[in-house]
Amino acid sequence: MMVPDVVASCACKGIRHCLLCEELKESLLQEEKVVHLFFYDPERKLAVRKDAEPSSFPFPGVFLWENFLSEEEETELISSMDQDVWNPSQSGRKKQDFGPKVNFKKKKVRLGSFSGLPSLSHQLVLRMQQEANLSDFKPVEQCNLDYHPQRGSAIDPHLDDSWLWGERLVTVNMLSDTTLTMSLEQGLPLLGLAEEVNVAVLLPRRSLVALYGEARHCWKHGILRKDVQQRRVCSTYRELSAEFLPGGQQAEQGARLLDVALSFKGAPV
């Protein structure tokens, strides 16, 4: 009996799922209805809720740069990405990786076939570094992700690794607006919020968002299925942790990784 081609395009494992594998398993899972209790106000750097108490609270650690890309740059970037292979990823996404080979469980990293970030990212990184908060940002990895509503694309709330990856996570959002959902499972008891708190951060098309501090280390971040209404492509850039920078225990290896990454001669690994 031949297996349908659609099976090969799904890479979900464990609890993760997308529309493709749900249909194949004939066990449709009901979409969780997550209510965004708060909305991020980038001008005031507050999480705001209307007609309820508390009405707002400080929400540090998010930097939003609207219109980071021009329309022409977005078109060029997407055209270049679509010339490379998009590999199936979990939860209905597809991906392209530009980064070292990492085993997070064993805390091992090596170059593998990593040849650097793509050439088109060079000018983008230079532009990022013009912002004071990102002036010393040196990415060592770039991950491109392709989301599409027909695949039920999403990404579960999660915290990025902090052994290898450093303080700032930088993402460029392309092709459509979306919402980045920040979640704190233990709530905010000091504000009388005992259950999970969600803060919706609107990401306009062609914008850049950086997470750092509390938003990077305390709040999980994810993209809900319902917030992917059109094709969405993003590029996430990660820097090295202090352990791999000058003065750290693995500074020598970190220097080698950065030399390769910042050559901007890379192809997807």
pLDDT, position 250: 97
- Cα→Cα distances 43→59, 185, 201, 230, 259, Å: 11, 26, 12, 27, 37
pLDDT, position 51: 80
pLDDT, position 15: 55
Predicted confidence (pLDDT) per residue in 212-252, tens digit: 999 999 999 999 999 999 999 999 999 999 999 999 999 99
Q: Is the pLDDT score of 68 beyond 50?
A: yes
**Sorting pLDDT into bands at 50, 70 and 90, what band is 195?**
confident
**Sorting pLDDT into bands at 50, 70 and 90, what band is 52?**
confident
What's the whole-model pTM score? 0.88
Mean pLDDT computed over every residue of the chain = 91
Q: Give 118's contacts (C-beta < 8 A, 6+ positions apart).
A: 80, 98, 142, 264, 266, 267
Predicted confidence (pLDDT) per residue in 136-164, tens digit: 999 999 999 999 999 999 999 999 999 99
pLDDT, position 29: 47
Q: Is the pLDDT score of 59 beyond 70?
A: yes
List, in order of start, the domains of the chain with CATH numbers: 32-261 (2.60.120.590)
User: Are 255 and 84 contacting, i.e. CB atoms less than 8 angstroms apart?
Assistant: no
Predicted confidence (pLDDT) per residue in 4-42, tens digit: 334 455 767 665 656 666 655 544 444 554 455 899 999
**Sorting pLDDT into bands at 50, 70 and 90, what band is 50?**
confident
Predicted confidence (pLDDT) per residue in 85-137, tens digit: 999 999 999 999 999 999 999 999 999 999 999 999 999 999 999 999 999 99
pLDDT, position 93: 97
Q: Cα(141)–Cα(49) distance, rounded to whole angstroms?
A: 36
Q: Cα(163)–Cα(142) distance, rounded to whole angstroms?
A: 17
